[in-house]
Each structure stands twice: as structure tokens, then as C-alpha cells.
Structure 1
Amino acid sequence: MPVRRRPAWLAALVFTAFAFATDDYMIAGVLPAVSAGLRVGEAAGGQLVTVFSLVFALAAPVASVVAAHWPRRRLFTWALVAFTAANLCAAFAGSYAVLMGLRVLAALAAAAAVPAAYAVTTALAPEGRRGRYLALVMGGLTASLTLGVPVGTWVGGAFGWRATFGLGAALGLVALVWVRATLPEPPPVPALPLRERLAPLARAQVLLGLLGITAIVLGSMTVLTYLAPFLRDLAGAGPAELGWVFAMAGLAGLAGGQLGGRAADRWGADRALIAGVCGFAASMAAFTACWALRPVALAALMPLLLAWAALSWWIPPPAQTRLLALAGQAGPQALALNSSAVYVGVSGGGALGGIVLEAYGSGLLAPAAAVCELVALALFWLARRCAAGEAARASATPAEGR
């Protein structure tokens, strides 16, 4: 395999990650239609995002251990078959309970496949290119917001919300064929026992850092999950407008992620994190001010929406850089837990946003999101204090021994 040429199996894994993430988030764009079609409130409809993310967060660490010795091609095959079938059945689901059960099945399939995609990429990547290959697979998750969610929103607006799940099934089928056609069977790599994966949680600074990442995603998803009803109430936006709003917000998010990573390198993780959180809180304050002036033209809101999207994706790179610094030698285990922390935040954002929406209306979604981000900043500050205390104790111990 030429060193400078990206292999076909890598593209297949990038698309697989894209398919799973699109399926998780695309309901946000058709939430009002799903809720109306199933005769449930929009807060209940938002729990379809919550349950997917929560099941993924709980199942992914366990699946990465349980399925560590399974042949990779067989694992991807059965996971994608289950994922495709769950979405195909969801397109014909007649009740909220049935659709919820199908979301659980799709999430279990994703929980089995996504950690395996990272492991396979690490095993098959040439020496010196593992970081770039992993970044590409992770980029499939980000690309879902740029392309997958807007397309799903447009499909739902044009053909009904059930067609959105049909799109999810089609993505799963394409991923299945692509993986089967291109992915070689990598050598088996023994996984760490679950106890070793969870060991970093015993260190206060790592636990606080993971909670901080959860709070960061919680704030972003509190607004993103319910962006459709929020923009409907604020600007009268419908499915047609939401499609291109999600597309432009996704592009802004990609740019924001790149800028956040560069800021972490140039300014340091702490300064970049503070800048991102403060900017996010300011954008939420601006949304709250706009709420008092509603209805506001969607075109007038676009600069603010793009700033919010960019800042939402600016924050994770410095937060993850800070988590690695807090974890020290336990960095790999902390990163393994990071994906679960992210999905706990996604599911929590759907739950928190649903509570706020049901009890107070969509106008308080922005203030709730701002509070989550400020709590995240406080958690990282506490984590840094704990890390400094641990370092001080470690340096004092040899002196006491002498």
C-alpha cells in the first residue's frame, strides 16, 4: 500500500462513523414532525436523541471489551445489519414506544462499531500516520452535522419524517457494502480489561475533567436537540429553512473546531477553553435578548447562529487537550472514557432541554445552555487545582523520605 495514498478501507470507516452520527443527530431537524406524527410532545420526541446517546455512552466501553477478540469484519457486518434493519423498521414504526426500542437497537449497533473503527484504524494505519487516520475517522462524526443532518432535514421536509429514517437505513446499507468490499481483517489486538479502562476515574482531576467535557456537550446539545422548535418560536422557521441552517451551522462548526485546536496549541488549553466558554455564554445571552424581540427574521439571526455553532465546536479541542494533561500517563484510558462522556452529554442535553422546553418553553433553552458551559469551566478549574495538589504531594514525598 503506498504510504501517501489513503486506503479504501479508511474511507469506508469514515463513512461508517458518518452514518452512525447522522442517525443520532438528524432527528433534531425533524423533531416537530416526529412529535406530531407520533402524537407526543416535543420534549418526549427529543428523548429519541437522548436514548440513542445514553445507550451508546453506557454500552461503548463494555462493547469494546466484550467484543475485543471478535473478528472485525464480522463485528462490522452484524452491527451494520442491525443498524440498517432498525432504521428501516423505524420508518414504519406505528408508536412512540416501538420507535424508542428501535433507537436502542441502533445505538447498541453504533456502540459496538464505533470503538472498533478506532481500534481497526490504529491497527492498520502506517507508522507515523495513525493520528491523521484517526482524525479522519473522527471527522466523519463532525461531517454528519455539516452534511448528514441537513440532508436528513431536507428529506424529512420533502417526504415526511419517516423518510429520514429511510435515509438512515440507506446510509447503513452503503456502509455495510463498503466495509465488506474493502476492509481487511486486522491482527487481533487485546483490549484493556474494563477495570483498567475505568482506573482513571479514581483520580479526582480526571473525573472532574470528564465531567467538564460532559457539561460542555450538555450545553451544546440542550440547544441543538431542540433547535427546530427554538427557531420556529423565535423566527417562524420551518423544515425548509432548517435544512440550510443546519448546513451552514455545520460548516461553521468545522471551522470553529479547527480554530479551537489551533488556539489550544498557540495560547494553551486553558486560555483557549476560557475564550470559547465565554464566547458561548455571550452568544446565549444574545439569543436571550433576541427572544424579547421575537419574531426576529431568520436572516438577521444567521450571524449569531454561525457564531454559536463555531463556538460550540471551538470548545472540545482545548477541553480534550486539557483532559490529556490532567490524565498524564493514563491519557489513553482517559480518551477511551472521553467518548462515553461525550455521549452522556448528548443524552443529558436532550433530557435537560426536554425538561426546560416542557416546563418553561423554548425561550429558556439558551440560558440553560450557558449555565452548563460555565459549570464546565468551573469543573476544569477544580480539576486543575486537584492536579496541582497531587503534583505538590508527589514532590514532597521524596523530601520527606530523605
Structure 2
Amino acid sequence: MPAWLFALMFTTFAFATDDYVIAGVLSAIAADLGVSEAAAGQLVTVFSLAFALGAPVASVVTARWSRRGLVTWALLVFVAANWAAAFTESYPLLMGLRVLAALAAAAVVPAAYAIATALAPEGRRGRYLALVMGGLTGSLALGVPIGTWVGGAFGWQATFGLGGALGVVALVAVRWTLPELPPVAATPIAERLRPLARRPVLLGLLGIVAIVMGSMMVLTYLAPYLRDLAGVSAAELGWIFVLAGVAGLAGGQLGGRAADTWGADRALLVGVGGFTAVMAAFTACWFVRPVPLLALLPLLAVWAGVSWWIPPPAQTRLLALAGTAGPQALALNSSAVYVGVSGGGALGGLLLEAWGSAVLPAAAAIVELAALLLLWAAARGATRNYGSDPVAGSVPGGGVGG
């Protein structure tokens, strides 16, 4: 594998770590800035929403830029936003800096996938793309725990300092290894949004949003929930994120294999069923709190595993629903994922503020079941429109309920 590919993987790792690590230092940010934990959770919401809205626009605005120059300037903005955040004592200013960092990420992540596709040898595009995407999942297993430990030891400001340092390493690696590439032809935004006119695709994308939202309602506010349930400290939370990251990586691989073997719909049923069962177990634990952390670790591992099990079959189903519009639908899928992240932070924050952390698992399970219904409705609509299941031959039993 070429060195520039690992540079791009590290770049996506830095961006994803910067987004997800807020969950590990949320309580400290809230205490220092004098805001509620629900308000601190909106730092995740605003980052993800800015990414979701900014990615399609950035891909058009920067289409005539050289790819190397685009990544360089975006990383410089990312580093500046994080290091400025490390010195701010204002919640509104910190919110604005999170938007700036997210827009930098939104400009680079789609470009990184395009670069990997353009430079990959014939027959190796899948592996090249998987390696770049590995930075996103790897951040949960490594980046978020390290950021959480740094925040616990030196304060949450040091976590943003670490985010900027990761950006510097990525910048040096990109400048050192990435070859110069010509600008790409811009695809009009209207062309990118065309799949939304197809009802099954729109419902499928809404299903993706709901899937991610349900998971992020718990992940974003994991610190206050586990503190209230089991008295978990910041240091212990770092180890929990390691466990969640490893279990999530395994769950994603198993979910992808299940989609290939059983079909996307049955794999979705298993994943959502498992998620709902774990949320029910967390809800039951609330009535016997405080619960020893060791007793919670198996549940936390299963939760992370099934959370990452669900996206591969969901995306497989979306791709089938889109048919010939598959590439555009996958591009919209990236925005849908970040809309789900922002929605999870927003809805979870509202519930935390109104009723406390106890209600988060039950609410997350309801959202996941709603996602299953949306994907079922999308499959039904596709069957009516096209006269057969669009994934015939690959999804046993037809619709999501099959």
C-alpha cells in the first residue's frame, strides 16, 4: 500500500476523533463553561450538521482546486480551529469553532475517497477505500479513548490541543506523500440531489438517519448516563471507549458478512433486534443502580457491536433501492449519517434536559425501530414501483420484514 494512502487514512482518523471525542469530555466542558450537559452535547450536533450540509456544497465550490492544495488548506483551518478551541472560555465561540472544524472536514473527507478511487490500481479500489474509511472506525478504538484520557488528566482544553496536533501530523504526511492531482469536474448540486425525488430512496436515507440517531443518542451522552448508572469516572470512561471501539469494529465486519450471507433485510432485523434488547437491559439496570461496572461491560460490548452491525446492511439496502442512482445515493448517505449524528445529539440533549439520562436507552430503541419501519416502507414502495424486489436474489424473503 502506498504511503499517501496511509496519510489519507490518518487524516480521516483525525477528523473522526475530533468529532466523537466530545462524548468523552462532555461533563468537563459543561462544568467549566457553565452550561448543562445537554448544551455541551450540542457541540456534537453542530459539528455533524455543519459536515452534513457543507460536504455537498464544498465538493462543488472546491472542484477546480488541486486535490493536494484542498487537503492542505482544509487541514490548516482544522488545526487553527482546534487550537483556538483549546484557549476559549466562551461556549458560543467554541460552538463557532466546531462549525469551522466541521467545514474543513467536510471539504476533505469526500475528496479523500475520490483520491483513493482515482489512484487505486485496477482491482484494488475496494481495499483502498476500506483503508481510508478505516480511519473513521479506528478513531473509536484509539483516538477517542486517548482524547478522553488526555482530557481527564490535563483538562478538556488539552483534548482540543490533541485534535490540532493530529491535524498537524496529517498535514505533514499529506504534504510529504500525496502526489499532485488535477482538479475534478464539478457535479451540479441538483444532480447530486436527484435521487431524493425517488420515494424509496428518500425513505431509505431517512432510515439511515434514524439508525445513526438512535446509536448517537446513547454514545453522545454515555458519560452522564454511566456516571448516573454506575458512578463511572473519566479514567474508566476511556477504557470503555476502547472496548466499544474494538467491539464496534468486530460488529461492523460481522454485519457486512451477514448482509452478504443472509441478505440485507434479515441482517437488519437481527441488528435492530439486538440493539433493542440491549437497550431494554440498560433500562432494567436503572432500577437496581448503582450497577457494578464489571457487570455492565458485556452489555456495553454488545451495544457497540450491534450499533456498528446495522449500518452495512442498511447501506446495502439503500444501494439496492437506488438502482442506477447508486453513486449519488451513496454520496447522500454520507450527509445522512452526519444528519443522524447531529439529530442524536439534539434529541438526546432534549431528553436529558427534560427527564434525565434514564430515558435515553428506551428512546434510542424506539428510534431504531422507527428506522426499521422506514426501510420496510422503502422496500414496499420499490416493489410497487418496479414490480419486484430491487434486491432480488441477494435479500432472502424480499422486504425488510421478510
For normalisation by structure 1, the TM-score amounts to: 0.96
| Alignment equivalent of 1:361, drawn from 350, 356, 363 | 356
Following superposition, the deviation at residue 68 of structure 1 comes to 1.4
Q: Secondary structure at the match of 1:196?
A: helix
Q: Percent identity?
A: 75
Partner of 1:28: 23
Q: Which residue identity lines up with residue 50 of structure 1 in the other structure?
A: T
Cα deviation digits, residues 228-283 of structure 1 (max 9, x gap): 00000000001000000000110000000000000000000000001100100000
Partner of 1:177: 172
CA distance in 1, matches of 2:331, 2:157: 34
CA distance in 2, matches of 1:109, 1:77: 10
Conserved 8 A contact 1:123-1:187: no
Conserved 8 A contact 2:142-2:242: yes
Q: Which residue identity lines up with residue 88 of structure 1 in the other structure?
A: W
CA distance in 1, matches of 2:85, 2:96: 9
Partner of 1:257: 252
Partner of 2:62: 67
Cα deviation digits, residues 358-387 of structure 1 (max 9, x gap): 000000000110011000000000000010
CA distance in 2, matches of 1:7, 1:320: 28
| Alignment equivalent of 2:379, drawn from 378, 384, 388 | 384
Partner of 1:397: none
Q: Does 1:202 align with 2:176?
A: no
Q: Which residue identity lines up with residue 304 of structure 1 in the other structure?
A: L
CA distance in 2, matches of 1:105, 1:299: 39
Partner of 1:310: 305
Following superposition, the deviation at residue 39 of structure 1 comes to 0.6
Following superposition, the deviation at residue 138 of structure 1 comes to 0.9
Following superposition, the deviation at residue 190 of structure 1 comes to 1.4
Q: Which residue identity lines up with residue 387 of structure 1 in the other structure?
A: A
Partner of 1:217: 212
CA distance in 1, matches of 2:385, 2:106: 34
Cα deviation digits, residues 273-304 of structure 1 (max 9, x gap): 01100100000000000011110001100000
Q: Secondary structure at the match of 2:32?
A: helix
Partner of 1:326: 321
CA distance in 2, matches of 1:155, 1:189: 40
**1:70-219 aligned within 5 A:** 70-219=65-214
Q: Does 1:236 align with 2:231?
A: yes
Following superposition, the deviation at residue 393 of structure 1 comes to 9.7
Q: Secondary structure at the match of 2:122?
A: coil
Conserved 8 A contact 2:150-2:159: yes
Partner of 2:393: none
**Unpaired runs of 5+ in structure 1?**
1-5, 395-402
How many residue pairs end up in the alignment? 389
Q: Does 1:42 align with 2:42?
A: no
Cα deviation digits, residues 101-146 of structure 1 (max 9, x gap): 1101101100111111111111111111111111111111011111
Partner of 2:397: none
CA distance in 1, matches of 2:294, 2:80: 39
CA distance in 2, matches of 1:268, 1:37: 48
Q: Which residue identity lines up with residue 272 of structure 1 in the other structure?
A: A
Following superposition, the deviation at residue 191 of structure 1 comes to 3.2
Q: Identify if the C-alpha distance between structure 1 residues 71 and 363 changes in structure 2 by more than 3 Å, giving closer, same or farther.
A: same
Q: Secondary structure at the match of 1:302?
A: helix
CA distance in 1, matches of 2:71, 2:259: 35
Partner of 2:272: 277
CA distance in 1, matches of 2:260, 2:134: 19
Following superposition, the deviation at residue 187 of structure 1 comes to 3.5
Conserved 8 A contact 2:67-2:182: no
**1:329-344 aligned within 5 A:** 329-344=324-339
Conserved 8 A contact 2:74-2:105: yes
CA distance in 2, matches of 1:134, 1:192: 21
Partner of 2:282: 287
For normalisation by structure 2, the TM-score amounts to: 0.96
Conserved 8 A contact 2:68-2:175: yes
Q: Secondary structure at the match of 2:181?
A: coil
CA distance in 1, matches of 2:290, 2:372: 32
CA distance in 1, matches of 2:365, 2:296: 18
Conserved 8 A contact 1:208-1:379: yes
Q: Which residue identity lines up with residue 382 of structure 1 in the other structure?
A: A
Conserved 8 A contact 1:87-1:106: yes
